[in-house]
Structure 1
Amino acid sequence: MKHIIIISLSLLLFASCKHTKEQNTGKLKVVTTTTMLTDLAENIGGDQIELQGLMGSGVDPHLYKASEGDVSKLANADLVIYNGLHLEGKLVEVFEKMGNRVTTKALADNLDKSGLISSEYFASSYDPHIWFNIKYWKQITNSLTEELKAAVPEQADYFEANRNDYIKKLDTLEAAVIKTISTLPEEQRILVTAHDAFNYFGKEYGFEVIGLQGLSTATEAGVQDVQNLSKFIIDNKVKAIFVESSVPKRTIEALQQSVKSKGFNVEIGGTLYSDALGNKGTVEGTYIGMFSYNVNTIVNALK
């Protein structure tokens, strides 16, 4: 009942906000969900859109719930961009209730499903962490560009030029990532993290990826999970395991202690950015900077 009341109040706020829209600046009002999408929209939309992101650094999109302020942002948007594949599971109901009052686009819906990793943990049956495959992120870039061009056709050339510049940067990133990973022997490419956010990364670059909590941070790791993974780490002589910026580090620390109790030392190799970028204004606060940081952290710790 409490959940229903909250949703109802949010919808009432949504309706009232629609009637008290802020003065039109003449620019397309875009709202994005994750920090990755906000960074992408900044690169493609530039100063020709009015952009607001819902989530900040270190925020877990799996568990994120819309606040009253978020509902206000959504109400005043011309275009809402989200990942899809049920990554923002607790926001989907809000999007559905909005109906046709605001245009919403799940960019992952444009990907070829035959290449996605299946998952029993999500209603979509697919792993939603598609940003860890740079090739997919290029497709997402193209999709966002087309959405902006359709919404503001008079700025199509501007958006297209930004897209071309950004794709070149992604090409450079991809080449650098491949070069760095090539320095790590294949038998050492075992990536143990707090949850399975890196499966697309592992598939693309030849890593065996194991997440203690599974694909969604909404699931909890049990004692047996910790014991089983401890044995795996010891058997495979894994040098380092990793915490994530958007997931509490206690589960990985418990895993480390479990391994040490069995006479094997495994280091915590660093903090990886998985479901959110780093702080705004830092290198890790951009998609390209985050990806480079993660790769360097992983390779340096596992060598």
Structure 2
Amino acid sequence: MLLRRSLLIASMLSLLLPLAGRALAETPIKVVATTGMIADAARQVGGELVEVRALMGPGVDPHSYRQTRTDIVAMTRADLVLWHGLYLEAQMEDFFHDLARKRNVVAVADGLPRNLLRGHDSYQDKFDPHVWMSPDLWKLVVEQVQAALTDTRPEAAEIFAANAARHLSDLDALATYARQSMAQVPPDNRVLLTAHDAFGYFGDSLDIEVLGIQGISTESEAGLNRISALVDLLVERRITAVFVESSVSDRNMRALVEGAAARGHEVQIGGELYSDAMGADGTYEGTYIGMIDHNVTVIAGALGADVPERGMSGKLSAGF
């Protein structure tokens, strides 16, 4: 009798849970996120229960972005506003602190353990915000997004937990691919030179020396002395590949290549990387996993590793 009752209850739950999920989806949580990376995390965890808008699209630099009138309207009408913090959205910080007094606003990276963060090159009391460059660190941000969604809609906690668990497993696979790919790069080639210092966490986690023409913020200036010093480094260490970024002008990088050429050393542009923004909406590279898959595959391939042309799961755009 007890067994029959337990089976009946289990059967009823199996019917009711999908119905409950559909009922919740009829009134999705309206989420506004600053960056594409945060928006992707909200979609992965929220699934059908969220309606997500990203303020900053492909190629947009979050360091210098200022909210528009349309952005302000969207955020004041949202059920949940997610921003990065760690001084990434430097021009918007005051606005978010003010908005948080009236609306549901969460800085998803501000709560990361300080011992896991790199110091900022310009501000003694701040940290490098580019934590998405390490899938292991990004998992902690995904968990913060899960907590924010759960606080906003507690009755969907189990759904958010299941979605987050699946996504975190995918991030583990991404981290494994990154480690295996970068491990193939020869010791003398393990230097990543990009437009600005956005890849520090990438380098720390994968034992790659990282150099940027500009500092952690694209608002910092790259002087002639910096360009000259990096040309010297390229020539002296026989570095053959440097990388441009989708959200930063390639002007300084072209100057490096030309400076090295003038001294008889050929340097190639190894490819374009996604640093502060993801790829085009609707593409694989327009997801967090696709963004990092692209970066790992492009960097490792240009520096001498034997990597699959279309990335870890064959989804990268042809001719990346």
TM-score, with length taken from structure 2: 0.85
Identity of aligned residues (%): 39
Partner residue in 2 for 1:177: 178
Partner residue in 2 for 1:59: 60
**Alpha-carbon distance in 1 for matches of 2:123, 2:83:** 16
Q: Secondary structure of the residue that 2:242 maps to in structure 1?
A: strand
Are positions 1:137 and 2:138 aligned together? yes
Q: Which amino acid aligns with 1:241?
A: V
Superposition pairs of residues 87-236 of structure 1, within 5 angstroms: 87-122=88-123, 124-236=125-237
Q: Secondary structure of the residue that 1:109 maps to in structure 2?
A: coil
**Alpha-carbon distance in 2 for matches of 1:279, 1:154:** 34
Partner residue in 2 for 1:81: 82
Partner residue in 2 for 1:7: none
Q: CA deviation at 1:104?
A: 1.2
**Alpha-carbon distance in 1 for matches of 2:169, 2:145:** 16
Superposition pairs of residues 30-41 of structure 1, within 5 angstroms: 30-41=31-42
User: Does the Cα contact within 8 Å between 1:86 and 1:122 map onto a contact in 2?
Assistant: no
Q: Which amino acid aligns with 2:70?
A: G
Partner residue in 2 for 1:274: 275
**Alpha-carbon distance in 2 for matches of 1:257, 1:238:** 14
CA-to-aligned-CA distance 1:241-265 (integer Å, 9 cap, x gap): 0000000111101111111111111
Q: CA deviation at 1:113?
A: 0.3
How many aligned positions are there? 279
User: Does the Cα contact within 8 Å between 2:32 and 2:52 map onto a contact in 1?
Assistant: yes
Partner residue in 2 for 1:247: 248
Please list every run of at least 4 consecutive aligned residues from structure 1 whose deviation after the TM superposition is greater than 6 angstroms: none
Residue ranges of structure 2 left out of the alignment (5+ in a row): 1-25, 305-320
Q: CA deviation at 1:235?
A: 1.1
Q: Secondary structure of the residue that 1:238 maps to in structure 2?
A: coil
Distance change (3 Å), C-alpha of 1:124 and 1:130: farther
**Alpha-carbon distance in 1 for matches of 2:122, 2:262:** 31
Q: Secondary structure of the residue that 1:128 maps to in structure 2?
A: coil
Q: CA deviation at 1:127?
A: 0.4
What is the aligned-residue RMSD (CA, Å)? 1.2
- Bigger drift between 240-249 and 26-35 goes to 26-35
Partner residue in 2 for 1:291: 292
**Alpha-carbon distance in 2 for matches of 1:30, 1:188:** 42
User: Does the Cα contact within 8 Å between 1:86 and 1:124 map onto a contact in 2?
Assistant: no
Distance change (3 Å), C-alpha of 1:68 and 1:166: same
**Alpha-carbon distance in 1 for matches of 2:138, 2:123:** 20
**Alpha-carbon distance in 2 for matches of 1:74, 1:169:** 30
Q: CA deviation at 1:122?
A: 4.0
Q: Secondary structure of the residue that 1:42 maps to in structure 2?
A: helix
Structure label with greater radius of gyration: 2
**Alpha-carbon distance in 1 for matches of 2:291, 2:29:** 28
Q: Secondary structure of the residue that 2:128 maps to in structure 1?
A: coil
- Bigger drift between 198-207 and 172-181 goes to 172-181
User: Does the Cα contact within 8 Å between 2:136 and 2:172 map onto a contact in 1?
Assistant: no
Q: CA deviation at 1:226?
A: 0.5
TM-score, with length taken from structure 1: 0.90
CA-to-aligned-CA distance 1:84-133 (integer Å, 9 cap, x gap): 00100111121123242112111112211012101132475210001111
CA-to-aligned-CA distance 1:257-299 (integer Å, 9 cap, x gap): 1111111110011100000000011121111111111111111
User: Does the Cα contact within 8 Å between 2:121 and 2:216 map onto a contact in 1?
Assistant: no
CA-to-aligned-CA distance 1:135-187 (integer Å, 9 cap, x gap): 11111111111111111011111111100110111111111111111111233
